[in-house]
Amino acid sequence: MLATAPLVSTVRVPLGERGYDVRIGPGLLERLGEAVAEMFPPVGGRPNRLFLVYDAGIPDEHVVAASRSLAHAGFRVAAASVQPHEPQKNLGTLARLLVDISETRHERGEPVVALGGGVTGDVAGFMAATYRRGVPLIQVPTTLLAMVDASVGGKTGVNLLTETGLQKNLVGAFHQPRLVLADVRVLHSLPDRQFAAGLAECFKHGLLSADFGDADLFSWTLSALPRVLRREDSVTVELIARNVAVKAAVVGGDEREEAAADGVAGSGKPGRAVLNLGHTFAHAIETVPDLSPTGLREDAPLLHGEAVGLGLVAAATTSVALGKAEPTIPERVRQALEAVRLPVRVRNLPAAGAVLDRMLEDKKVSAGRLRLVAPASLGRSVIVVDPPEAAVTAGIDAVRS
Ligand code: GLY
């Protein structure tokens, strides 16, 4: 459900008593305190306490604006920072945050606010899910990727480094936030590369949105790109709201990704696993150390969204090899990625067999059978169980430079 006021959109994530609003608009960071105080009003005249986990990579002014707004609304704020890199999304960071929050004697009903990109939201969210068996969480995403994807839907967690390499998001919990506030003004200072990485998740949603109430998201995104790339507030609000509405509809139908083995939820629509479109390839690619979007060492490693873009090309190519998509689809996906300067090929990718082995280690594998999401058109994707190896290899080879 999508409600719109001038320049502020609110999308409801329809999860009954765990349902919540995602508010999207310019200047919401300055109104964070007001929004949190509505949900957690001071009790007995005593200021409410709150634990803020912020991303050490965002401009100081965002942390100052959030802290000031919370203090004006009467909160006593304790804070800790998180480095915004995948290797730091680990059990060590989680343990440190847990010690920090416990030392403030944070109580069960008091909220945690996660201010930052996807790494911060995931690890702070997991901390909120586990501290005292769960405290309320408010997500304040500061990257496009976190706004359209990571902050919505309740997935939290950390990576695990094992003998076979980095296992992405292997340890975690579902913990829905009470509120998500996306201030599009913070996108003005987001580096171009990170902004483009977020657009990869938007293209992903565009390739599956027809079953979730938005048949032309992919083509609208392409037509809106000049304004999106200028980061005009009105168009970024619309972009984020449409993407969040698609994600909310998917999550509302299959909150914990429990749809049957064929990936179809009770509604007859694809379950939450459809959101993994491009991700099984992406996780295998991004966990190869030192890959770079340009081939230059100084640009390594790949950002998650860059790997997702490569994963979309690989999935579209596999889908054609499986006879599920028109042969033109991979090229259309490539053109979309190139229009925002995302990589469509990568140098130094290991042999297809080695990438496939990594894909089989993915936590989404069930009974040793791979489950892949395959775009069938520019709006509809299907889940394929146990695809033939040759089709998956064709996908991997399509992104090799
Ligand atoms: N990012 C995939 C999901 O939330 O299910």
> How many residues would you count in the chain?
401
Q: Strand 179-183 relative to strand 137-141: parallel, antiparallel, unpaired?
A: parallel
Q: What is the pLDDT of residue 365?
A: 67
* CA 273 to ligand 1 center in whole angstroms: 8
Computed from CA positions of residues 304, 210, 217, 10, in that sequence, does the dihedral angle turn out positive or negative?
A: negative
Pocket test for ligand 1, best of 147, 276, 286 (most atoms within 8 A of CB): 276
Residues near ligand 1 (Cβ within 6 A): 149, 153, 155, 272, 275
Cβ atoms within 10 A of the Cβ of 161, count?
A: 12
What is the model's pLDDT at position 5?
A: 54
How much distance in Å is there from the Cα of 250 to the middle of ligand 1?
Answer: 9
Among candidates 359, 315, 352, 353, which has minimal Cα distance to 334? 315
Please give the distance, rounded to the nearest whole angstrom, from the Cα atom of residue 69 to the centre of ligand 1.
30
Residue 185 burial by CB count (10 A; 0-12/13-18/19+): exposed, middle or buried?
Answer: middle
pLDDT, tens digit (0-9, with 9 covering 90-100), for 36-93:
999 998 777 676 899 999 999 999 999 999 999 999 999 999 999 999 999 899 999 9
C-alpha to C-alpha distances, 251 to 218, 360, 366, nearest whole angstrom: 20, 25, 21
| CA pair distance 17, 299, nearest whole angstrom | 44
Atom nearest to 153 CA in ligand 1:
4
Q: How far is the CA of 247 from the centre of ligand 1 (A)?
A: 8
pLDDT at position 89: 96
The predicted pLDDT at position 364 comes to 66
Rounded Cα distance, 245 and 224, in Å: 18
Q: Do the Cβ atoms of 110 and 2 come closer than 8 Å?
A: no
The residue whose C-alpha atom lies closest to atom 3 belonging to ligand 1 is 275
Dist. CA 48 → ligand 1 center (Å): 32
Would you give the distance in Å from CA 174 to the centre of its chain?
Answer: 14
Q: Are 116 and 59 in contact (CB under 8 A)?
A: no
C-alpha–C-alpha distance, residues 381 and 21, integer Å: 27
DSSP SS3 for 137:
strand
- For ligand 1, atom 4, the nearest C-alpha belongs to 153
- Residue 41 Cα to ligand 1 midpoint, Å, equals 31
The helix or strand, by DSSP H or E, that contains position 282, with its residue range, turns out to be helix 279-286
Atom of ligand 1 nearest to the CA of 149: 1
Burial zone of 86 (CB within 10 Å; 0-12 exposed, 13-18 middle, 19+ buried): buried
pTM of the predicted model as reported, rounded to 2 decimal places: 0.95
Assess whether the previous peptide bond of 59 is cis (omega < 30° from 0): no
Q: What ligand 1 atom has the least distance to the C-alpha of 257?
A: 5
Residue ID of nearest Cα to ligand 1 atom 2: 275
**Closest to 35 measured CA to CA, from 77, 63, 75:** 75
Beta bridge partners of 179: 21, 138
Taking the alpha carbons of 1, 124, 149, 382 in that order, is the dihedral positive or negative? negative
DSSP secondary-structure letter at 24?
E
List of the chain residues with pLDDT < 70: 1-6, 45, 47, 261, 363-367
Token pair, residue 47, equals 């200021």
Question: How much is the pLDDT for 368?
Answer: 73
| Contact residues for 331 (Cβ-Cβ < 8 A; gap 6+) | none
The DSSP H or E segment spanning 310 is helix 304-321
pLDDT of res. 62: 98
Q: Residue 261 CB: number of other CB atoms within 10 A? A: 12
Q: What's the pLDDT score for residue 267?
A: 79
Can you list the domains of the chain with their CATH numbers? 2-190 (3.40.50.1970), 252-398 (1.20.1090.10)
- Strand ordering across the sheet containing 75-82: 2-5, 8-13, 20-25, 179-183, 137-141, 112-116, 48-55, 75-82
